[in-house]
Amino acid sequence: MYEGSSDEHEMDPTSEGPSSSSGRTRTPARRRSARNKEEEVASEERTSSLRKRSNPSALDRPAKTRRRFTDEEIKEMWLFVVNKIRDPFTDRIIKLQIGLKTWTEFKMTSDSPRDAISFYCCFRRLVHTLYTTNFDLQTKANLHYALSIPIENQEFLEELRQVADIVLDSHQRIVAYRKKRVPGALLNMNEDYWDEVWDEEAIRRVEQGDEGAPPPANFDAGEEEEEDTSGDVFL
């Protein structure tokens, strides 16, 4: 009786039952695992699709509009710097380090929607156009000295030397300047006032070729930003 019962339930080794070693059917646990994987893949695809729609690639994004600095904005920037290079107590021209802090301060006085980095990057380009502005020669000389801007335009240098004594270092930066004087006269030519910086020690070092290491550029490190500042700049 027991033997018959055992034979009756014995499995054929060639069958595809759950215990067959040659081919197994999926158990409920495996079917659930497969469904879970399919659901995970589908979920990832949906998430990826949503991410692409919310954050399109650079190729799909519209081109960034670059708004040129207006003449009025540029004028405000220059005038701000002109005021900064004059010592409020002695009224003398002083060296000035231009950086993000400078333009953060400027931003507080300006109605422009631009940020300090935009002003900073714009001014770094503007300094090389200083000689093209409508500032008078005295103001241009003051700015070149205070900001350590090299004089790169020979015509401007000759124009400046017609009315002023100028001493340049080996990097074409002004280290001393004053208005030309008539020999023996006590007053300046035309009797108009000129700011002057006439440092005999600095002049001696230049003449002896003992300038030492060039000072760092008067612009501290800052993040670059693309701005369209092309075109002539006039004040």
Three-state SS across 79-106? Answer: HHHHHHCECCCCCCECCCCECHHHHHHH
Are 155 and 102 a contacting pair, CB within 8 Å? Answer: no
pLDDT digits (tens, 9 = 90+) for 166-196: 999 999 999 999 988 766 555 544 556 788 8
**Strand intervals (E) in the chain:** 164-168, 174-179
Reduced to 3 states (helix: H, G, I; strand: E, B; else coil), residue 188 is strand
pLDDT at 234: 37
Q: Please tell me which residue, 181 or 232, carries the higher pLDDT value.
A: 181
Q: Please tell me which residue, 90 or 215, carries the higher pLDDT value.
A: 90
**Which residues are CB-contacts of 205 (< 8 A; sequence separation ≥ 6)?**
211, 212
Q: Please tell me which residue, 151 or 56, carries the higher pLDDT value.
A: 151
Pick from 157, 154, 162: nearest CA to 179? 162
**Token pair of 54, please?**
């919310």
Residue 43's pLDDT band, with cuts at 50, 70 and 90, is confident
User: Is the per-residue pLDDT at 78 higher than 60?
Assistant: yes
Provide the residue type at 89 as one letter. F
Q: Which residues pair with 86 in a beta bridge?
A: 93
> What is the residue extent of each domain of the chain?
71-207
Q: Please tell me which residue, 201 or 21, carries the higher pLDDT value.
A: 201
What does pTM read for this prediction? 0.63
pLDDT digits (tens, 9 = 90+) for 5-35: 444 444 444 444 444 444 455 566 666 676 7
Backbone dihedral angles phi then psi of residue 175, each to the nearest 5 degrees: -110, -20
Max Cα–Cα distance, the chain, nearest Å: 144
Average pLDDT, the chain: 76
- Vertex 224, ends 123 and 213: CA angle to 5°? 70
pLDDT at 4: 47
DSSP 179: E
- Vertex 85, ends 81 and 88: CA angle to 5°? 115
Q: Which helix (H) or strand (E) holds 155?
A: helix 154-163
> What is the average pLDDT across 71-84?
95
User: Is the per-residue pLDDT at 228 higher than 50?
Assistant: no
Are 43 and 36 a contacting pair, CB within 8 Å? Answer: no
Q: Give the Cβ contact number of residue 208 at 10 Å.
A: 8
Residue 52's pLDDT band, with cuts at 50, 70 and 90, is low
pLDDT digits (tens, 9 = 90+) for 89-123: 999 999 999 999 999 999 999 888 999 999 999 99
User: Is the per-residue pLDDT at 37 higher than 80?
Assistant: no
Q: Please tell me which residue, 4 or 157, carries the higher pLDDT value.
A: 157
